[in-house]
Structure 1
Amino acid sequence: MSNDTHNPLDPAETREAAEELLAHLHRVGVPFIPLPNAERVAEWESRFAVSPPASPSGEAGVSAASTPPATKPAPTAAEIGDEVKTPPRAPTSRLQPVESFSVNDDPYPGVSLPIADRQQQLEQLATTVSGCTKCSQLAKCRTQTVFGEGNPGTRFAFFGEGPGADEDRTGRPFVGRAGQLLDKMIQACKLQREDIYLLNTVKCRPPGNRNPEPNELSNCREYWEQQLQILRPEYIVCLGAVSAHTLLNSKLSIGRLRQRFHQYHESKVLVIYHPAYLLRNPDAKKAAWADLQMLMRDAGLVT
């Protein structure tokens, strides 16, 4: 349980969550909610701005409680009585930091395989996935599954949400506009696409590019878990909320999860904004770059 429930909401996190919800509603065909733009955001912020409380004399910013009447001094402790004393604090065991959530930090099961054996097992698993029909809706509307691709001996696995239209057409992960931006982000980290491994939480494109449903995430879980068990990457970079929540068993926002390393088995996990989100919100690229710099420093890619 968080011990800061009385703190005000972070405007950036609130806007991030609202924009993710709006994007999802547009993907599933809700036509009457406009996408945000700077002019409209400024208009609504001005309309809902909170002004400082006014004093009885009408002077803004001066609270009536700040000038107690001279004829009525503050009550003493004896006059207050037991009924309004400060309530006792909750036991320490109930006051958990807001970042706490269940993670799996046990070693990966099995043994680390030679690169050739990893490649063979990944190919066998990809064949299994290509014939999967656990999610009847996704199996009916997909062109093909998008298993994942990359270096089986990589230190870095980039873990996304699910295939889009371009990925469904080609069978390859991250080849659309978001994938092109991700390529630039990877190159900025002094890496190439051939150096890393790319995979998603689900292997079929959800219709209309909607978010994967809980049962779809559950059905595909064994596939990406096996991929990561085979790869055993030193770092897993979660791209966006869906992959972060799925991997870390957390509901915290990206803003609360980023800028720190988490743990999944023996892999360090870094959470950053999804490239598709960065395309819609270019101002967030600065935060994403700060996260990638953190990754590079920890991995020894920069001095």
Structure 2
Amino acid sequence: MAPNSTVTTTLTASELSPRESKILPEVTYRTLWGNFKTPLIWPNIIGIISVHVITIIGFVTFPYFQHKSTFAWCFVTGWAGGFGVTAGAHRLWTHKSYKAKLPLRILLIICYAIAGQNRLREWVRDHRVHHKFSESDADPHNANRGFFFAHVGWLMMRKHPEVLRKGKSIDCSDLFEDSVVVFFEKFFWPMKLFWCFIFPTMIPYFCWNETFYWCVMSCIARYVCGLNFTWLVNSAAHMFGNKPYDRKIQPVENLMVSILAMGEGWHNYHHTFPWDYKAAELGNYKVNATTLLLDLFAKIGWAYDLKSPSKQLIQQVIENHGDGTRRD
């Protein structure tokens, strides 16, 4: 290809999902010297920037010592939302790394609703595509396109044509064998609005007479923090860290992400053994809160058939594929 040539790929409405085709019947993507250009989604950009500005104002002005109960409530709902993403959307429904009885699945779907992220079927589809085509044009949050894109930029613009095409090849029919998922998908917006925004706002207002202003501000701040902790798994955990299990892949082990994302930052391990319910080679629970909770649920029988590789297999992979940074 000539140095100043441009390759244009057009994605027609037939290749888009029904929701995407209603928004934009035809999408044109241009590649120039490897740089990918795509139409921006301005409602998403404005919304994401707005909630982040509100969150920054809230962090700076929140009277922490005078509103300890509300501050603690943010942690409770934040952890609940995080658990819904890590143990529910990720480890259970995407990777099927364990099985859950009905009470736990109901709890997980409520927690996932508290997190306020995408429809579960979209979350699962995108993550399965991400694993199968990691760091390629088909990866929804391809880290090779930079930290900002992998973190949040991918939500601000139209998807690469390969993401949509490869996404169609991913089978997510298993999700709809679960009645809990079917119910959630049917009532997605009422569930999201109530559990993510209304419920967390009303509890401090009615239970300890918090002002409505701080109820709303704290709810938005908790929501935005949860989003960023999830996004860090796509960005920082693909860029900053070591590769003790597979030196040839891009995901890395990142302690800070593991702390913030309840154990999801041990990403080199996770991409090597995606079916492990721990998503890490667990030594203790200090940086894998999700596994701690799953083990507790396993003790009462709500979680079962927990999958995990043998120590011998892990050691063999480390010796054959790791970068030498793993230390016993």
TM-score in terms of structure 1 length: 0.22
- Which one has the largest radius of gyration? 1
In terms of fraction of residues, the more helix-rich structure is 2
TM-score in terms of structure 2 length: 0.21
